[in-house]
Amino acid sequence: MAATTKSGIITSRAFSRGNKKFPGWPTYGHGESEALLKVLNSGKWGIGGTETEKFEKAFAAYQDSRYCVTMVNGSVTLRNALIACGLEEGSEVIIPPFTFLATATSVIEANCVPVFVDIDPDTCCIDPEKIEQAITPHTRAVIPVHLGGHAAAMDEIMEIARKYKLYVIEDSAHAHGAEYKKRRVGSIGDIGSFSFQSSKNLCCGEGGAIVTDNKELAENCWSIHNCGRVRDGAWYQHEHLGGNYRLSQFQAAILNEQLKKIDAETDKRQANAAYLSEKLARIPGIRPLVRRPEATRHSYHLYIFRYDREYFGGMSRELFIKAVTARGIPVSNGYNTLIYKQPFMLKKEFGPFTGWKHTNPALDYSAVVCPAAEKAAEEECCWLSQNILLGSREDMDDIIAAVSEVHENVRKSNKVELVSC
Ligand SMILES: Cc1ncc(COP(=O)(O)O)c(C=O)c1O
Question: Residue 65's Cα: distance from chain center in Å?
Answer: 20
Per DSSP, what are the bridge partners of residue 171?
145, 193
Q: Is the CB of 99 under 6 A from ligand 1?
A: yes
Which pLDDT score is estimated for 418?
Answer: 61
Residue 7 has pLDDT above 50, yes or no: no
Report the distance separating Cα 62 and Cα 75, nearest Å.
21
DSSP states along 153-201: -HHHHHHHHHHHT-EEEEE-TT-TT-EETTEETTSSSSEEEEE--TTSS
Work out the average pLDDT over 132-152. 98
At residue 1 the predicted structure's pLDDT band, cuts being 50, 70 and 90, is: very low
Which of 70, 171, 195, 251 to probe ligand 1 with, by most ligand atoms within 8 A of CB?
195
| Percent of the chain predicted with pLDDT > 90 | 93
Q: Is the pLDDT of residue 420 over 80?
A: no
CA distance 233 to 261: 37
For residue 73 and ligand 1, the question of a CB distance below 6 A is answered with yes
Q: What is the pLDDT of residue 2?
A: 38
Residues 83-88: what's their mean pLDDT? 98
Average of per-residue pLDDT across 47-74: 98
The answer to which of 29-33, 398-402, 417-421 has the lowest mean pLDDT is 417-421
Q: Is the pTM of this model over 0.75?
A: yes
Question: What is the average pLDDT score of the chain?
Answer: 95
Q: How many angstroms does the Cα of residue 106 sit away from the middle of ligand 1?
A: 10
Share above pLDDT 70 across residues of the chain, in percent, rounded to a whole number: 95
Q: Give the pLDDT of residue 19.
A: 86
Ligand 1 centroid–CA 73 distance in Å is 8
**Per residue in 154-198, pLDDT tens?**
999 999 999 999 999 999 999 999 999 999 999 999 999 999 999
- pLDDT value for 10: 33
Architecture of the domain spanning 2-23+262-335+375-413: Alpha-Beta Complex (3.90)
Ligand 1, atom 8, residue with closest C-alpha: 74
Distance CA 326, CA 16 (A): 9
> Domain spans of the chain?
2-23+262-335+375-413, 30-260
| 63 Cβ inside 6 Å of ligand 1 | no
3-state secondary structure of 250: helix
pLDDT single digits (tens) 318-343: 999 999 999 999 999 999 999 999 99
Ligand 1 near 256 CB (within 6 A): no
- Give domain 30-260's CATH number out of 3.30.1180.20, 3.30.830.10, 3.40.640.10, 1.10.1270.20: 3.40.640.10
Q: Give the per-residue pLDDT at 8.
A: 31
Look at residue 11 and tell me whether its pLDDT is greater than 70. no
**31 CB-contact burial (10 Å; exposed 0-12 / middle 13-18 / buried 19+):** middle
